[in-house]
Amino acid sequence: MRTRFSHPLWIHLPSVVALGAFLWVLATSGPLPASAPIHFGVNGEADRFGSPWPGLLAMIAACVLVIGIAVSSAEQWVRKETKKSFHLWSLFDDLFVGFMAGIGIAYVKAITSGGDTFRFPWQTVLLVAGATTVIAAMLEFIRPFRPFEGRIEMAAHADKSVLAEEVREKLSREGAVAYFETQNPMWNRALSVILPVFAAGQATVDYSQTGELNFVPLIVAAVIVVLLFGGMRTIVTRNDVTVRFGTPGIRALHVSMNEIRDVTLRPFFPLGDFHGYGIRYNGQMKGVFLGGGIGVEITTRQGRHYLIGSDNPERLAAVVTTIVEGKTPP
């Protein structure tokens, strides 16, 4: 079955065009020298030579990865929307790819012209990254609101009986059934922003002092964003319960509805019961949570136990229980 994107893919065109411009310059600039400046001192003078291809290919791969993460993040965002809202994070790929494309274009032109100096191309970077980000913001602003088909809508005051009835009504149809919720406490939101900014800042300081762009802090920043940004998302459909972490939605738990025997509410203390947060094991069950209090415990027919953290545990339990009951033969 073909996947229908709720978040329009054309919003990511600015980053794709920026990457395409970089590749076009790379392809039309003639053969790159076998040995070119690959490291520059503070004054922009080359102090190390070698093949330019490893660095260029790493930049291209990073751009492709970030575009993919941005597409996934934006799709997860809009699938939870109950009304149109501006998704600031959808601009990250345009800013990042524009930044890298600006550097790459200036570097390719520098080494193909035979020069041995290369100062940070602020004008090119600001022009490319600024244009891609501004255009992407305009596209995000005008994008249409597309409610995700089958999404279970629920007002904050709705009780369990109202929610269960809505789920039963949707189960009677042949279309999709989808319930989403996010657990993203303040400490996780702070870490997912502060740590990448600190790592990127460290890379900038290192570059200003040594003239060498160190990719390690940037990779660390990207890993932190992938693992933390967006928190934990729980998705319930008519077929399964899935828990995902981070921007691209790394799957941490997947349970088929046909496997579930029982669903209960369970009080727990993360540090006392699991000695931490995230994906945890305590010898009795697997837990996935970013906050404590009351979670939803799922017991499978095979006797396995899973605990899902939730800011709305009664709602989550009601949705799963109603779907399980609808699949259980009378």
User: What pLDDT digit, counting tens, does each position of 113-144 carry?
Assistant: 887 778 888 899 999 999 999 999 999 999 88
pLDDT for res 74:
79
Burial 111-120 (b: 16+ CB within 10 A, else e): bbeeeeebeb
Is the same domain home to 56 and 102?
A: yes
39 contacts 122 by C-beta, under 8 angstroms = no
Q: Are residues 254 and 218 in the same domain?
A: no
Helix, strand, coil shares of the chain, percent, nearest 5, are 50, 20, 30
Task: Tell me, yes or no, whether 94 lies in a domain.
Answer: yes
Answer whether 291's CB lies under 8 Å from 185's CB.
yes
Do 141 and 267 belong to one domain? Answer: no
Do strands 178-183 and 232-237 pair parallel, antiparallel, or not at all (unpaired)? antiparallel
Number of domains in the chain: 3
Predicted confidence (pLDDT) per residue in 266-317, tens digit: 998 888 889 888 899 998 999 999 987 889 999 999 999 999 999 889 889 9
Average pLDDT over residues 1-14: 75
User: Is the confidence at residue 224, as pLDDT, over 50?
Assistant: yes
Range of the domain at 211: 188-228
**Is the residue at 163 inside a domain?**
no
Residues 213 and 245 in one domain: no
Determine, yes or no, domain membership for 323: yes
Determine contact, residues 323/263, Cβ cutoff 8 Å: no
pTM beyond 0.75, yes or no: no
11 and 56, same structural domain? yes
223 with 282, same domain?
A: no
**pLDDT at residue 164, as a whole number:** 75
Share of the chain above pLDDT 70, in %: 86
Q: Which long-range contacts (CB under 8 A, 24 or more apart) does 218-227 make?
A: 218/62, 221/195, 221/196, 221/197, 222/62, 222/65, 222/66, 222/196, 224/191, 224/192, 224/195, 224/196, 224/199, 225/69, 225/192, 225/196, 226/69, 226/250
> Average of pLDDT values for 80-97?
80
3-state secondary structure of 39: strand
Question: Would you say residue 126 lies in a domain?
Answer: yes
Last residue of one domain, picked from the residues 202, 228, 254: 228
Establish if 21 belongs to a structural domain: yes
Is the same domain home to 210 and 301?
Answer: no
CATH, residue 307: 2.30.29.30
As beta bridge partners, residue 286 has: 281, 306
